[in-house]
Amino acid sequence: MCGIVGFTGKRQAVPVLLEGLYTLEYRGYDSAGVCLQVKDGLKTIKTKGRIKVLEDKIAGQGEISSTCGIGHTRWATHGAPSDRNSHPHDSMDGRVSLVHNGIIENYLELRSRLTEKGVEFKSDTDTEAVAHLFASHFHGDGVAAMLDTCRELKGSYALAVICADNKGELICTRHDNPLIVGIGEGENMIASDIPAIMGITKNFIVIDDGEVVRVTPDRVEVFDRNGAPVTKEVQTVNWDIEGAQKGGYDHFMIKEIMEQPKAFKDTVALRINEKGLPDLGAEGVTGDIFKNIRNIHIVACGSAYYAGLAGKVALERLARIPVIANVASEFRYSDPIIDKNDMCIVISQSGETADTLAALREAKARGAVTVAVVNVLASSAAREADHVIYTWAGPEIAVATTKAYSAQLAVMYLLALEAARQRGEMSDEQAASYCQSLKEMPSLIEKTLEVSGQIKELAQLYYKQNDAFFIGRGIDYMAAQEGSLKLKEIAYVHSEAYAGGELKHGPISLIEDGTPVIALACDESLYEKQISNIKSVKARGARVILITNGDFDIDPDMCDHVVKLPKCPYFMSASLSVIPAQFLSYYIGVFRGCDIDKPRNLAKSVTVE
């Protein structure tokens, strides 16, 4: 949610800032702006709408010479989307400008105090109070002013400031919101995420909570919350910017759907050893951990939560460990029963999801072993958990996850197999057989991607429908929930997912003549039960799309369309059954004219509660 960029160097800042902002579009936003150091002070340009609107507005002001500036994409929290509520926000005298991601919880108190001192506010935002507060503390030293400012703030934030009097200098800090510094040669950047810096460098440092950074073209200085210098490790991005570009596809989402075989393969390949057994030793997740675990808590949000539900099925059925799956936003407020005998697995594509981070910290505070499953190198969850397992999905730009979800499933299968083996619930021979299936899964995903054309035809038939239902049993119910979420996210279709056996307890009353029902049947032990549920909705006029890997004879009166998938071990079937659902949401969204990669009101990384 929201995006920050900042640049200082010798080249012109405007193209660098705009390019950085474009790479952060996936985070979700409703307005954008920049502030530039110019010859006689600062120049702020901002607007409601897309970055292209901002780019046109900048171009309309003629040539602007500047080699230092900050930029921002805003996702509204305090104050409706508008030009005046857009970032950056300037001090009253126009000598300080600031951008902010997060929420300042005590902004009303700050606003009241500043108003009493004669400050006039021009926006409805919480951020503007921080700009004026910083200006009140600024007496030439930006680091000292930022340290004094942060002592008065409550909430979450990543902040970046430029001052008219300190040429070529960026001052930034963070607390519970991501921020990195890109280290170039004679030029440096700050940003919310790695893609934004890759126009100038692959080298970066991660800013920790409470640290304040002074960035100039030739130097990066980091200080702790007491003002003492801090030495930071410089890290290097291990993927190319091409991975964050469309590569000839119409949308990032369809590109990332097609990249799922590679994401799954890359995540699994180095975690199966020469004996063909799961090996998470490099991540420190060894057998001794699982032998003494009483319960496993899986905590996540959105699609990551549904990947966790699939992991719950695998862990319970294979390893016979009780698993409690929790929505992260509820976990820490439920006074969870979790202690040193438990493991907490948090799943987050970005590793910066606010609710998931809070859950991680709560679990650690109660003594649980914590494992983070994340896609972003050096993210907060990765750094704070006891162990981190990276999903090697590469950059995922579309707001709605596809390939990162597939990689998360791969990790959950590996965890389930290792836990089962170490607890004596599975022999090495059985584990090796399942690991061979994991190695074969990328080719099965490739085969499943061939249903694209069939699903596009079905989308053409049903894209005008405003309601749809997904049903499944066992692992299919977990996959059905992810499929339903995708249809809501991408195509804005009201969609619900139900366990097949629950239909007659209420939801079946919603079935009308012509209602699309997507039925998943990929667990052989539950085929007959699911078929019975399908017949129930069909008898009430539903139009049924059956997604199955079954070899049984399908009664033509049972369903209207059949999507056949390859066979795989039942607990891995979510990796295949989700693909037709992804395609369905994508093509229905296209036919309905939706903004596929940037759905309304959504953000890639939800960094506020």
User: How many angstroms separate the CA atoms of 81 and 77, rounded?
Assistant: 9
Determine the Cα angle at 22 with ends 19 and 24, to 5°: 115
Long-range contacts of 77-82 (CB under 8 A, 24+ apart): 77/103, 77/126, 77/608, 78/103, 78/107, 78/124, 78/125, 78/126, 78/127, 79/123, 79/124, 79/125, 80/124, 81/30, 81/31, 81/48, 82/31, 82/48
User: How many angstroms separate the CA atoms of 41 and 63, rounded?
Assistant: 16
Task: Kindly provide the residue ranges of all beta strands, DSSP E only, lying in 359-449, ordered along the sequence.
Answer: 369-374, 387-390
Please give the full DSSP string across 435-490, using - where no structure is assigned. HHHHHHHHHHHHHHGGGHHHHHHHHHHHTT-SEEEEEE-THHHHHHHHHHHHHHHH
Q: What is the CA radius of gyration of the chain?
A: 25
User: How many angstroms separate the CA atoms of 340 and 342, rounded?
Assistant: 5
Active site residues: 2, 604
Cis peptide before 569 (omega within 30 of 0): no
Instruction: Determine how β-strand 3-8 pairs with β-strand 543-548.
Output: unpaired
Q: How many helices (H) and strands (E) does the chain have?
A: 18, 25
User: How many angstroms separate the CA atoms of 469 and 520, rounded?
Assistant: 11
Three-state helix/strand/coil letters over 512-534: CCCCEEEEEECCHHHHHHHHHHH
Contact by Cβ (8 Å): 6, 36: no
Q: Which pair of structure tokens corresponds to residue 38?
A: 């110019």
Tell me, what amino acid is at 361? R
Task: For residue 134, report the phi and psi dihedrals to the nearest 5 degrees.
Answer: -60, -45
For residue 111, which of 137, 132, 91 has the smallest C-alpha distance?
A: 132
- Other CB atoms within 10 A of residue 164 CB: 19
For residue 197, which of 231, 241, 160, 159 has the smallest C-alpha distance?
A: 241
Give the C-alpha distances (Å, rounded to integers) separating 31 from 55, 80, 82, 250, 419. 12, 10, 7, 24, 47
